[in-house]
Amino acid sequence: MESRSKKSVVIVGAGIIGLCTAHYALKKGHTVTIVERGNPEHDMASLGNAGMVVPSHFVPLAAPGMVSYGLRTMWNPESPFYVRPRLDRDLIAWGLKFMRSATAEHVARSAPILRDLNMLSRACYVELARDFGNSFGLVQRGLLMLTRTSHAFEDEKRAALQAHALGIPADIVTPDEAARIDPGLAMNINGAVFFPNDCHLSPADLVHKLTREVQAQGATIQWNTEVTSWEANKAGAMDRVKTTSGFIEADEFVVAGGVWTPQIARQLSARLPMQAGKGYSLTVPNLPKQPRVCSILVEDRVAVTPMGNTVRFGGTMEITGLDEQINHRRVLGITKSVTRYFPEYTPNIFDGISPWCGLRPCTPDGLPYIGRLIGHKNVSVAAGHAMMGLSLAPVTGLLMSQVLSDEVPAVDLTLVAPDRFNNRTITHH
């Protein structure tokens, strides 16, 4: 396809990744249409998440210890990680790839790119907050990794040293020092690691602001419109997508469909292994005591984020397919852990609070898919960010805008190439 500087771009999905891609593509002067199957009020992972921007998260989900952790906790109905065993070809293939990726070498290879992506994204957030009058509540006060046991504290101390080696600031702190960092709420802990560069924000306010902004900048959003198939021209380039409201033509297409991305791309013969990692959150308003900084309850893998006059508690990674049912036993696991770490919070703070659930798009190696598909030069993928989708959304949008403009991306995209598992399969056969 001929390279043109200003192009028409169709983005599939109005989640945080699609919206950020639209924002940065518009800044480059492209014409943008977002196709979203939901209505303007539809729910999605991008809304109820914990809102953390996390340069501290340089270890991908596929890391040593995760497989044995999953097997150990499988029989505990309140555990924060669960894989429902199913005789499903995609799940088995994904699981094998996950196991192959969960090595120290993979973590060492992935950590620098996750650091670079997260740091650049954080800088984008500071810029967006400035440009949007911080209407999405960006708070730059850091994140506390709270531990209750000496074993977990030792693990976190080791992670802090790894962070230092990568140039990421991380302070090992005593319970008294943690209390000085966050005097808002008493903590029942053994020690903590403080990551001063992490931030938090209100994801729903961000999504709504970006939705309005991209439209004000000239993007069209076609709500209630599902992409169902693709049509190539004689030269083999895609020139239109078929949707439930008819065909839409464009020079470039970006699939940002969250956990549904493999379904959307299947017809393109692109294999994008992905499993849904279901998580829950509970948002409690008007608590008499509120934390000032966000935290992760390390042993129980629960995220705690102050958001305006509410506190959001999020957690659980259930690999149970494209299933959005709420498992109340696991929600109970989250609420119990909150009361263990924060003695001023009693179980009744959750009375009458409805749990929310969302599906994280999880790749087998814990790295997102960002970039063009090899087989279809004008189709790109921006998806698979698992538990870092909000954090990495602006940098993903920025990188996609560079790809669409045929510029050299600010971060080398080799490790996040969407076709990386196709290549591996081809070499094996």
Ligand X SMILES: Cc1cc2nc3c(=O)[nH]c(=O)nc-3n(C[C@H](O)[C@H](O)[C@H](O)COP(=O)(O)OP(=O)(O)OC[C@H]3O[C@@H](n4cnc5c(N)ncnc54)[C@H](O)[C@@H]3O)c2cc1C
- Where does this chain bind ligand X (CB under 6 A)? 12-18, 35-38, 44-46, 49-52, 226-227, 256-260, 264, 279-281, 303, 314, 358, 360-361, 383, 385-391
Residue nearest to ligand X (CB): 389
Q: Measure Cα distances from 20 to 5, 176, 280, 333 in Å.
A: 20, 39, 24, 33
114 vs 390, beta carbon nearer ligand X: 390
CB of 375 to ligand X, least distance (A): 19
Q: Is 363 helix (H, G, I), strand (E, B) or coil?
A: coil
User: What span, in angstroms and rounded, lies between the C-alpha atoms of 288 and 16?
Assistant: 31
Instruction: Measure Cα distances from 114 to 181, 216, 413 in Å.
Output: 26, 32, 11
Least distance in angstroms from the C-beta of 29 to ligand X: 23
Instruction: Name the phi and psi angles at 268, rounded to 5.
Output: -85, 10
HSE at residue 48, side-chain half, CA atoms within 13 A, is 22
The answer to whether 17 touches 383, Cβ cutoff 8 Å, is yes
CB of 2 to ligand X, least distance (A): 27
Instruction: State the DSSP string of 56-93.
Output: T--S-SS-TTHHHHHHHHTT-TT-SEEE-----HHHHH
When the beta carbons of 185 and 201 are compared against ligand X, the nearer one is 201
Q: Which is nearer to ligand X, 190 or 227 (CB)?
A: 227
Task: Using the minimum distance from each CB to ligand X, give the nearer residue, 50 or 163.
Answer: 50
Distance between first and last Cα of the chain: 30
- Provide the minimum distance between the beta carbon of 265 and ligand X in the complex, in angstroms, as a whole number: 10
- Can you tell me whether residue 118 is helix, strand or coil? helix
Nearer Cβ to ligand X, position 190 or 211? 211
Q: Are 57 and 391 in contact (CB under 8 A)?
A: yes
- Of 127 and 177, CB closest to ligand X: 127
Least CB distance from residue 360 to ligand X, whole Å? 5
**Nearer Cβ to ligand X (1/73):** 73
Minimum Å gap between C-beta 390 and ligand X is 3
Q: How far apart are CA 260 and CA 149, in angstroms?
A: 38
CB of 356 to ligand X, least distance (A): 8
Q: Which residues contact 246 (CB under 8 A, 6 or more apart)?
A: none
CB of 257 to ligand X, least distance (A): 4
H or E element: which one contains 358?
Answer: strand 356-362
Q: Report in angstroms the alpha-carbon separations of 174 from 144, 181, 187.
A: 11, 11, 11
Q: Among residues 190 and 401, whose Cβ is nearest to ligand X?
A: 401
Select 190 or 207, whichever has its Cβ closest to ligand X. Answer: 207
CA distances from 68 to 36, 65, 92, 99 (A): 38, 5, 16, 10
- 248 with 35: CB under 8 angstroms? yes
Residue 307 CB, nearest approach to ligand X (Å): 11
Residue closest to 50 by CA, chosen among 310, 318, 275, 397: 310
Q: What is the DSSP string of 3-54?
A: --SS-EEEEE--SHHHHHHHHHHHHTT-EEEEE-SS-TT---HHHHS--EE-
CB of 197 to ligand X, least distance (A): 14
Please, which residue, 173 or 359, has the CB nearer to ligand X?
Answer: 359
